[in-house]
Structure 1
């Protein structure tokens, strides 16, 4: 199988390339605008797996011609280039025009709204676009489908995620978090609505070693796609938070002061974007917390009825941001490349058969998922 990993020189992209080459035995090309950066990433992954399956390639994702040139020789395109509101649509359109199968880890509601509109184009091209295949969204949606299949009806879905300040992620992920904190949307009483920043606060018990963390409403695609596939659901909420709390408190204090996370401010005659300033401060905070364990976790609660009786299913996972995000992407990409996902169109993770997905996950990663309440441990990607 020939797989093109766009953004393969980045942190998430390197993990994807490693899993696809080592466990998927795929021929992988990793890309960056810089050939040197792509080569450095390819060399690093090849050294880890002890082979030369990974090749570097310079690709400008802002050029559709360059994208299409690179995509033509791929069986599946894996897009790890964010933000997706900026780079996702053109990349997907290029894949559709070529009829190339595609996966990504889009976790931006604003982008997901536009991506699902390309469903008709993908069907006409007889190709498959799998979007939002990370942890949340991604695994979270599939776990919801797993439970929904075992209930007569579902009324409520509540998703919560958290990450330690030392779980390595760069400025682009921090800026994404700021955007999602600033204008969260939730599915409440059967309607997709915008809610106030830092509202919906809850103290959620995550799997060990994380424990209890304060989380607030967060802007994620689950609130859009879960109601499309779980008919009759009344409420779908997504909450998130960074612990132990320094960065979370920094952002919340900015909002409580009446300042916007997305505006620019004049500082002694210099125009400074709030998102850039806060990201810079957040990066400094992270550097001072390197003694803390790098860990991320999520908890999903599905409320419904079976035989007229109320039931609640809970799913949980723990790991790192990279492993939790890329392992579901890896499994879904291999399923797509091997023809185990056959439907055409733009497919969110909700469209994947959950039982088949967990069978494949068990086969490829040795993880058991045979009962509600089973916990995924994503702390290893080897």
Structure 2
């Protein structure tokens, strides 16, 4: 019997990708959860004999507690995280289970970080934002910062093809991110920005090339300046085909706040977009590209360190990000009691080792 890992929301696209990575890189026994039993059983069967399914609704706190108590690590993949509280993390601290999640929203990350002292006291390692973006992207930034003598500016950009293979949840997340202005760390102060504003053309590796990206509210917008003493952190996001960028920009720019903040409207937009990507995915693919550029000083000279990553399936890449950290915890290589953003907890050498073992190639370039 291997150690037990519980993946909440593990029957979904991201959760099942995390489970697949753990099957390939650990000896753990894995339980995936979801609310639809028939789907969950099929997903578990497809992942192999070490994976089983547990029907679970997060509202059933007693059943949730029982499942967490029986687990060594709990991985929270049940998004969208805009609507979630930190009860899963709180229960992990109480029951002595280490915790990871694939959260991707500022409000949830802020709630989780409030439990830092409690987790530290309990000796629990809890790491948030561990997927692909945020996740692998944040570790690429740390890798870049450590290459410089002094880092001054971080520019982090992402582009996703169509649905990214992540299902309808990513559509909900995209439109939920348009609901309110947010603050970003620019020129040494917090400044308010509108989501999906200030289009910028960024050069990604093939097959993406020059692609439009926009300001977007993500947890790393505030965790990166908290982690690294820089003056500016830019986080921008874009989609392929470019038509989706203009659609999202149009909604953010012209629709009344009362519409965008209505759950029914968000659900309508998510469903329409998902149906559209079911068609466009056949042509665009479902991949992801990340570009991290850190500006600063090296050997007394002004310079930029740029790293890029491309993967053909966004959901699988997210599974690598989270699964690799769970692997390190199981192996006893990563223990850091408290609640941390991934760039605060994962050393660069371990990050590079786990990415190499998964065939992820990060291209590096100095720009003088």
TM-score, normalised via structure 1 length: 0.88
Pairing 1:3-152 to 2, within 5 Å after superposition: 3-46=5-48, 52-152=49-149
What residue in structure 2 maps to residue 240 of structure 1? 237
Unaligned regions of 5+ residues in structure 2, if any?
none
Asked whether the equivalents of residues 183 and 190 of structure 2 are also in contact (C-alpha less than 8 Å), the reply is: yes
For residue 157 of structure 1, report the CA deviation from its aligned partner.
0.3
Task: Return 27-36 or 189-198, whichever deviates more.
Answer: 189-198
For residue 137 of structure 1, report the CA deviation from its aligned partner.
1.0
For residue 243 of structure 1, report the CA deviation from its aligned partner.
1.4
For residue 72 of structure 1, report the CA deviation from its aligned partner.
1.2
- The structure whose RCO (Cα within 8 Å, separation 6+) is larger is 2
- Distance in 2, matches of 1:31 and 1:274, equals 28
Alignment partner of 1:129: what SS?
A: strand
- The reply on whether 1:353 has 2:351 as its aligned counterpart is no
- The reply on whether 1:335 has 2:333 as its aligned counterpart is no
Unaligned regions of 5+ residues in structure 1, if any?
47-51, 265-271, 375-382
Asked whether the equivalents of residues 164 and 295 of structure 1 are also in contact (C-alpha less than 8 Å), the reply is: yes
- Distance in 2, matches of 1:92 and 1:192, equals 29
Provide the aligned C-alpha RMSD in A: 2.0
What residue in structure 1 maps to residue 268 of structure 2? 277
User: 1:220-240: CA deviations, max 9, x gaps?
Assistant: 111211112212x01111100
Alignment partner of 1:273: what SS?
A: helix
For residue 356 of structure 1, report the CA deviation from its aligned partner.
2.2
- Distance in 2, matches of 1:147 and 1:189, equals 19
- The reply on whether 1:229 has 2:227 as its aligned counterpart is yes
| Alignment coverage as a number of residue pairs | 359
Alignment partner of 2:115: what SS?
A: helix
Alignment partner of 1:41: what SS?
A: helix
What residue in structure 2 maps to residue 209 of structure 1? 207
User: 1:24-81: CA deviations, max 9, x gaps?
Assistant: 12211111123333211111111xxxxx111111222223222110011111111111
Asked whether the equivalents of residues 8 and 14 of structure 1 are also in contact (C-alpha less than 8 Å), the reply is: yes
Asked whether the equivalents of residues 6 and 79 of structure 1 are also in contact (C-alpha less than 8 Å), the reply is: yes
Asked whether the equivalents of residues 25 and 327 of structure 2 are also in contact (C-alpha less than 8 Å), the reply is: no
Alignment partner of 2:260: what SS?
A: coil
What residue in structure 2 maps to residue 257 of structure 1? 254
TM-score, normalised via structure 2 length: 0.92
